[in-house]
């Protein structure tokens, strides 16, 4: 194998042509994983492979960078909703909500109960549809396409409900500082939501059968990409990934917002910290989300306005909050999603900084977990970490 080294004369020739020839040593080679690979979703990992093992992984993000934080500084407060929600595509309500929460805190608005109820419901629906999307991706990566087919079809039910409530299918542009943009379209919508929740409750058993109980899933994920508790905390891993290593941290419980203090739900925790644990934690959270939606529907939307009453809102483009700053975060399916907004008293925010959960588990953690893994495990690790590249790039 030593003969594989680049011959000297070839190297000399390459020098003359201003080219770079990489010395080949043994079986090592570089593999550019992504951005065209389906598991990576516009995200690239450069793998240094030794045979089938990964020696070193370097994350190369930035394919989706649009400079949101800079763009947000050039647009008025309300308008930014239409911009920032593009940070997290599968659950676009999360960036809307964190930004709105932070602005609410700066202005000092007490969001009406009805708006809070709607926001909670929308967030839970977004979580549910994002879970469905995750099942699709995960199922496809491990070769269980049937689960993906079902999940995509069930997700459409939520898309339809969103469409009726907000007027948009994927980008809802619905939650704004001070409330929401439209009222609930009527009792029919609530009935439909309840039907959907009931329907999906039955379907979760099917998912158990075909995906989570499946011999293939367990064989593919058990013992792959193991983290321990200390590692996860030092790397600021949040969400289901953190719960899979035994830390019961959930923003909805630890820093409650909206209606969550009044809701009763369980936080699933496993200790193993491997891919299987992450999958199972997610599976249990789906159950809990449906349970939360059920409770919300039992509670019923409180009466009252769905938007805060403030004379300043009349001149919407020129709305100016007072000086100040605030940090708000919510629990998304990927983890702890936060926004830090600084206002300098003008009609545009001075600085908006969004913390995407994948920023912590998508770069350093991924690089660490991929070390020593096999090539076939890369999609599994990517999907069980639930890496969302727009979070990193923004």
Partner 1 sequence: MSEKKNDDFISYELQEFKLFEPLFRWARKKSLWIVAFCTGCGGIEMPPLATARYDFERFGIMPNPAPRMGDLFLITGYVTPKTLKRIIITYELMQDPKYIMIHGSCPINGGVYWDSYNVVKQFDKYLPVDVAIAGCMPRAEAVMDGIMEIMRKIEDGTADSWKRYRENYEYYRKNQDELFGEGWREKEARRWLAWI
Partner 2 sequence: MDMNEKPKVEEKVENTEETKPELPETKEGRLVKEILGEAPYAEGNVRRERRVEFKVPPERIREFLETAQKKFEMLIQITVVDWLKEGEFEVIYQLWSVSESVHAAVRTRIPREDPRLPTVMDIWPVAETYEREGHEFFGVMYEGNPRLGPFILEPREYEKHPFRKDFNMLGYVKGIYGEDFDRYDESKTNYVI
Partner 3 sequence: MESVKKPRVRIVGEEKVRLKKSFVKPWLGIKYLFKKPVTIKIPFERIEPAPKYRGFHTLDWKKCIGCNFCGQICPARAIEMTWIEVDGKIEKRPHPKVDYGRCTFCQFCVDVCPTGALGHVENCYLTTSGLEEDLELYDWVPIDPKKVQELNEKFGDYRFPVERITFNKETKETTYYLRDGTEFRFKIIGYGLKPPAAARPKPAAKPAQKSAESSKKDESSKTEEKKG
Torsion sign across C-alpha atoms 122, 124, 126, 129 = negative
Residue 37 interacts with which of partner 3, partner 2, partner 1, none, CB < 5 to 8 Å by class = partner 1
Helix (H) or strand (E) holding 15: helix 8-16
Q: Which of 394, 391, 383, 393 is nearest to 37 (CA)?
A: 383
Q: Which of residues 266-325 bind partner 3 (CB under 8 A)?
A: 266-271, 280-281, 283-284, 316-318
Identity of the residue, 81 or 193, whose beta carbon is nearer to partner 3 in the bound complex: 81
Sole window of 67-75, 182-190, 305-313, 355-363 interacting with partner 1 (rule: CB under 8 A): 67-75
Residue 78 interacts with which of partner 1, partner 2, partner 3, none, CB < 5 to 8 Å by class = partner 3
Q: Pairing state of beta strands 351-355 and 336-343?
A: antiparallel
The token duo for 307 is 């938007």
Q: Which of 155, 169, 202 is nearest to 92 (CA)?
A: 169
- Residue 132, CB-side half-sphere exposure with 13 Å CA sphere: 22
Residue 202 touches partner 3, criterion: CB under 8 A: no
Q: Are 61 and 363 in contact (CB under 8 A)?
A: yes
Residue 46 touches partner 3, criterion: CB under 8 A: no
3-state SS record for 91-158 = CCHHHHHHHHHHHHHHHCCCCCHHHHHHHHHHHHHHHHHHHHHHHHHHHHHHCCHHHHHHHHHHHHHH
The token duo for 152 is 């995509």
Residue 73 touches partner 1, criterion: CB under 8 A: no
Residue 119 touches partner 2, criterion: CB under 8 A: no
Residue 125 touches partner 3, criterion: CB under 8 A: no
Residue 392 touches partner 2, criterion: CB under 8 A: yes
Identity of the residue, 152 or 210, whose beta carbon is nearer to partner 1 in the bound complex: 152
Gap between the Cα atoms of 75 and 56, Å rounded: 41
Q: Is 213 helix (H, G, I), strand (E, B) or coil?
A: coil
Sole window of 94-102, 112-120, 129-137, 178-186 interacting with partner 3 (rule: CB under 8 A): 178-186
Each residue 275-314 as x (binds partner 2 by CB under 8 A) or -, in order, gives: -------------------------------------x--
Q: Residues 48, 53, 201, 320: which binds partner 2 (CB under 8 A)? A: 320
Residue whose structure tokens are 């980008």: 171
Residue 164 touches partner 3, criterion: CB under 8 A: yes
Gap between the Cα atoms of 210 and 216, Å rounded: 10
Identity of the residue, 154 or 258, whose beta carbon is nearer to partner 1 in the bound complex: 154
Q: From the CB of 262, what's the least distance to partner 2, in Å?
A: 9
Residue 150 touches partner 1, criterion: CB under 8 A: yes
Residue 20 touches partner 1, criterion: CB under 8 A: yes
Residue ranges that bind partner 3, judged by CB under 8 A: 74-76, 78-83, 146, 150, 153, 156, 160, 163-164, 167-168, 171, 173, 181-182, 185, 206, 208-210, 212-216, 218-219, 229, 233, 247-250, 253-254, 264-271, 280-281, 283-284, 316-318
């Amino acid at each position: 194998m030593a003969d594989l080294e680049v011959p000297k004369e070839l190297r000399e020739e390459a020098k003359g042509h201003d080219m770079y020839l990489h010395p080949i040593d043994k079986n090592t080679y570089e593999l550019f994983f992504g951005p065209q690979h389906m598991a990576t979703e516009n995200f690239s990992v450069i793998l240094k492979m030794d045979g089938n093992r990964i020696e070193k992984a370097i994350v190369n993000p930035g394919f989706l960078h649009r400079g949101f934080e800079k763009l947000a500084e050039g647009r008025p407060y309300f308008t930014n909703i239409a911009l920032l929600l593009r940070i997290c595509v599968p659950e676009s309500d999360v960036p809307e909500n964190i930004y709105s929460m932070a602005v609410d805190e700066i202005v000092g608005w007490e969001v009406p109960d009805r708006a809070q109820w709607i926001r909670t419901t929308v967030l839970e629906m977004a979580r549910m549809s994002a879970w469905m999307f995750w099942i699709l991706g995960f199922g496809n990566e491990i070769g269980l396409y049937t689960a993906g087919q079902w999940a995509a079809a069930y997700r459409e039910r939520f898309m339809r409900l969103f469409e009726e409530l907000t007027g948009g299918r994927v980008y809802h542009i619905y939650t704004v500082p001070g409330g929401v943009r439209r009222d609930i379209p009527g009792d029919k919508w609530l009935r439909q939501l309840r039907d959907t929740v009931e329907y999906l409750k039955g379907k979760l058993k099917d998912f158990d059968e075909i995906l989570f109980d499946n011999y293939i899933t367990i064989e593919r994920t058990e013992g792959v990409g193991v983290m321990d508790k200390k590692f996860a905390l030092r790397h600021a891993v949040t969400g289901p990934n953190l719960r899979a290593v035994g830390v019961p941290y959930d923003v909805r419980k630890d820093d409650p917002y909206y209606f969550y203090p009044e809701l009763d739900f369980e936080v699933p925790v496993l200790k193993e910290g491997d891919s299987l644990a992450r999958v199972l934690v997610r599976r249990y959270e789906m159950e809990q989300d449906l349970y939360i939606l059920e409770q919300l529907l039992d509670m019923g939307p409180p009466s009252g306005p769905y938007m805060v009453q403030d004379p300043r809102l009349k001149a919407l483009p020129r709305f100016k909050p007072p000086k100040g700053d605030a940090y708000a975060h919510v629990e998304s399916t990927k983890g702890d999603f936060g926004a830090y907004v600084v206002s300098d008293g003008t009609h545009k925010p001075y600085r908006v900084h969004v913390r995407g959960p994948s920023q912590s588990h998508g770069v350093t953690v991924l690089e660490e977990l991929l070390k020593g893994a096999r090539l076939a495990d890369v999609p599994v690790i990517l999907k069980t970490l639930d890496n969302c590249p727009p979070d990193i790039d923004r």
